Amino acid sequence: MARNWLDAMPEVFLSTTERSSAVSRAASSGLLRRIGSKLYTRNLVDPPEQIVRRHLWPLVAAYAPGALIADRTALENVPAPDGSIFVVAGRARDIELPGITIRTRKGAGPQPEDRPFIGDLFISSTARAFLDNLAPSRQGKSGVRRTLGREQVEQRLDDLARRNGAEALNRLRDEARALAPRIGREAEFEAFDRLIGALQGTRKDDLVSPRARARHAGAPYDPDRLHLFELLYRELRALAPAGRATRDRGPEARSTLAFFEAYFSNFIEGTEFEVEEAAAIVFRQAIPRDRPADAHDILGTWQLVSDPVEMARTPADADELLDLLRRRHATLMAARPEKGPGQFKREVNRAGRTVFVDPDHVENTLRQGFDLYRSLETAFARAVYMMFLVSEVHPFADGNGRIARIMSNAELVAAGEERILVPTVYRANYLSALKALSQAQSPEPLVRTLDFAQRWVAATPWAGLEGTRVDLERGHAFMDANEAENAGIRLRLP
């Protein structure tokens, strides 16, 4: 064999009968490492587990050619927590590799519905994967079972219905009905058929998971959002700053503060006016002829945030939460009938890469989220949580950010604490903090960002409108967030 044969070999490979002598010599010379049964690598540095993970599926294909990825691996698409990969092959055996065990079992081979995978592997169709995972299996020494079991299947079917609609469940059931006799899963199909009917509310079955029971009862919710709410809840319980009591302000100062709350909250959403124009709208009812709806957005926000009685209302239960949201939204969006004032959305909405809660799941996701809200002890914690709850569910066709901030500040006003305002220059910080939790599951930036925003409000001498405007200008509050970032300018405390 040519001296440079190793240069043509991949990083990791299985030795063959024809190559075994050359491989043995290379290993003896320190040019190769043996890291598994007939498994060698040219990489003499990285841990064997890393090398195997990098080449996982080609290695499965090499050890079990033509095998079908099955059972829990076909639904999870990753090794099990103990490193197991489950496949259907010609004989049953366990193949031990660094960090991975390929566990083969006998069974019906690939069917027309199963899909080609890497190498000459196949992967179970979705219908087959669900049927297989309803089959009973014994717990291995590591505590991992070959199949996911009833509760996991229920949750994954709920995910499917949530993302693709009830019709997706019907199509899946039809595919499973045709497939079951060919793979010997008739009993599993009977259980699957009952489960689909129970999720759709047309049949009774002993559902295991809370999500499946909620869907059966006609109250489905978004579990991914609930997970985010739980992350924020834990952060707030551990790290929420102490409250900042409202300073004693006269009527003019309170009016000024409410005005800038309405002004900045709308500016964040793209409803932009000069301060003088906005003041004329709020205090003189001077509605611009060419922008009446925009003007009413500011006016509607002002009417809510300047009303001390309204802003002292907080929800005592989930029904009151839904009622407050609808009533405040009806006031805010009164000039935009096409946005459904006071009505929860009927179509999915999104912002960039974020797709918000499905319209069918809005009410019950809010209800599930409320259960965490009511056990938060401080007004600041409830304010931050309420802001994110409403923002992340996005229950309306429009006006969600403004309603989220109104609901948040109502928590603070009701407790006699300073409000949270997000001036124009701080917009990018605020939106980045929301995204950090929504997309990266990191709640700390949101708590920190809103804490500073409240501290800024507490430090600002809200007095007359013009004097306050000058103070805010000195602190860069009106600067465009992107321009400020490029210039290295930050929101400055007075």
Residue 422, phi then psi, degrees to nearest 5: -115, 95
Strands 68-69 and 33-36, sheet pairing: unpaired
Q: How far apart, in whole angstroms, are the C-alpha atoms of residue 227 and residue 439?
A: 12
- Residue 316: which of 395, 403, 374 has the closest Cα? 374
Give the start-end residues of each E strand in 294-355. 350-351, 354-355
CA 214 to chain centre: 20
- Residue 372: which of 359, 384, 354 has the closest Cα? 384
Strands 84-88 and 100-105, sheet pairing: parallel
| Angular region, 492: left φ>0, alpha ψ -120 to 50, beta rest | beta
| Tokens coding 333 | 């969006």
- Residue 196: which of 173, 219, 174 has the closest Cα? 173
Contacts of 118 (CB under 8 A, 6+ apart): 57, 58, 61
Q: How far apart, in whole angstroms, are the C-alpha atoms of residue 218 and residue 200?
A: 8
Over the range 415-445, which residues count as b (16 or more CB within 10 Å of their CB) and which as e? bebbbbbbbbbbbebbbebbbbbbeeeebeb
Bridge partners, 122 (sequence order): 68, 116
Q: Which H, E and C letters describe 374-385, residue by residue? A: CCCCCHHHHHHH
| Angular region, 373: left φ>0, alpha ψ -120 to 50, beta rest | alpha
Q: How far is CA 464 from CA 50, 145, 256, 257, 275, in A?
A: 65, 69, 6, 9, 13
Cβ atoms 157, 168 nearer than 8 A: no
Residue 68, phi then psi, degrees to nearest 5: -110, 120
Bridge partners, 104 (sequence order): 87, 93
**DSSP secondary structure letter of residue 359:** G
CA 143 to chain centre: 29
Residue 369, phi then psi, degrees to nearest 5: -65, -35
Q: How far is CA 455 from CA 174, 276, 451, in A?
A: 59, 26, 6
Q: How far apart, in whole angstroms, are the C-alpha atoms of residue 146 and residue 104?
A: 10
Local mean pLDDT, 10-residue blocks, the chain (494 residues):
72 90 90 92 94 94 95 94 95 94 95 93 95 92 90 92 86 96 96 93 87 86 93 89 86 96 95 93 90 93 96 97 97 94 93 87 95 93 97 96 98 97 96 95 96 96 94 94 90 88
Contacts of 439 (CB under 8 A, 6+ apart): 353, 354
Q: How far apart, in whole angstroms, are the C-alpha atoms of residue 25 and residue 35?
A: 16
Q: How far apart, in whole angstroms, are the C-alpha atoms of residue 403 and residue 385?
A: 13
Count CB atoms within 10 A of the CB of residue 352.
Answer: 8
pLDDT of residue 240: 61
Q: How far apart, in whole angstroms, are the C-alpha atoms of residue 73 and residue 121?
A: 13
| Tokens coding 469 | 């405007």
SS3 205: coil
Burial bucket for residue 77 (CB in 10 Å: 0-12, 13-18, 19+): exposed
Using the Cα atoms of residue 165, residue 167, residue 170 and residue 174 in order, give the sign of their dihedral. Answer: negative
